[in-house]
Amino acid sequence: MDWGKGLKEDERQLLIDLIKIESPSTGETQVAKHLCDWLSSRGIRSRVDQVGNVIATWGKGKRTLCLLGHMDTVLPILPVALDDASITGRGAVDAKGPLAAMASALGRVAEREDEPDGHRVLLVGAVEEEIPGSRGAKHLAKRLAKTPPIATVIGEPSGWDRITLGYRGCLRMKLATTAPIRHSATPHGTAAEQGVDDWLRILEMARAYNEKRDDPHSLFSELSPTLLGFSSRIRGGVDEAELDISLRTPLGISSGTLFEALKDNLTGHLTLFGAQAAYRSSRNTPLIRGFLRAIRSLGGRPTFSLKSGTSDMNVVGPEWQTSMVAYGPGDPQLSHTIAERIRFDEYERGILVLEQLLMNLP
């Protein structure tokens, strides 16, 4: 099959439009309106909820399949470049490509099928996935806590023939150190030096943990600290330093216990402003089997992956405790890069996989 040639013009245009509409976290209003209007024009009930999420429903049954994508992107915004084979731009992969594929697949099914009585599809374009807090997914998780979906697909790039089963957790922290102002020739440590010493302690704690883990070659099982920012200044007669720290966590680690252990071993003041636990779903579910059939029907050889980052799976997974995967067209290695790009043939195959899934709801 000549992939990409079967892509409908309105589906191609939806992807282009979503990428062209700038939507950094907290700035999703315009892209939400466009997506809502596109879905409504295809007879899919759509609205924007009180936190800014797009909520679209199709079907009348109580058994709900949730397609949960997100509309926001990281910065910086990239120039949009378009050719016959692909589009480059911020969000092309993470995660407007997967979100547009979900919307397009639902649009195809709604166009030719009557609404099912036994199932309901809930499509969500969430806000603020890319920043600590995940406000859109948290709002949805609480709203559906008593009646969670029977299955959920998180719209994240996996590649059209790959299924993501889990994500590591993450602690986002600020570490603040202070010291009296002294001449730089004195032997006493500055606030910056104290911050460096504390950072080295964090690295040592992670190294000690990783040496004892059962699977030393798996990034998914690794405790991984990252120093995202470091600043120092003199303010009000006090020497100050601040470190912005991300700590990726494996399954089985309590965020609260880990945070307290860090506080006990560091000299500076540690503040936690974001925490998500690692999450991994089962491979033996009707949802997984539906994906395997769909990918194989298109000539693909499906594989599984575990991601080292986080997604809204970390938010809704522990809350709902139902069958869940992450899936979407696009190369995940291009996420957040200046080369973020998706091919139209990849996008089309993602739509076809999701369309088949919806035609044979688990």
Q: Is 84 exposed, middle or buried (0-12, 13-18, 19+ CB in 10 A)?
A: exposed
Q: Is 262 exposed, middle or buried (0-12, 13-18, 19+ CB in 10 A)?
A: buried
Residue 277 DSSP symbol: -
DSSP E strands: which ranges in 33-192?
45-48, 54-59, 63-70, 81-82, 86-88, 119-126, 151-155, 162-167, 169-180
105: which residues sit within 8 A by CB, 6+ positions away? 351, 352, 354, 355, 357, 358
- Our answer to whether residue 129 is catalytic in this structure is yes
Active-site option among 11, 28, 72, 345: 72
Closest CA to 31 of 87, 61, 69: 69
Q: Judge whether 171 and 246 are in contact, CB under 8 Å.
A: yes
Cα 271 to Cα 177, 236, 260: the distances in Å are 12, 22, 11
Closest CA to 70 of 23, 104, 107, 109: 23
- Our answer to whether residue 72 is catalytic in this structure is yes
Active-site option among 94, 129, 161, 198: 129
Active-site residues, by number, are 72, 129
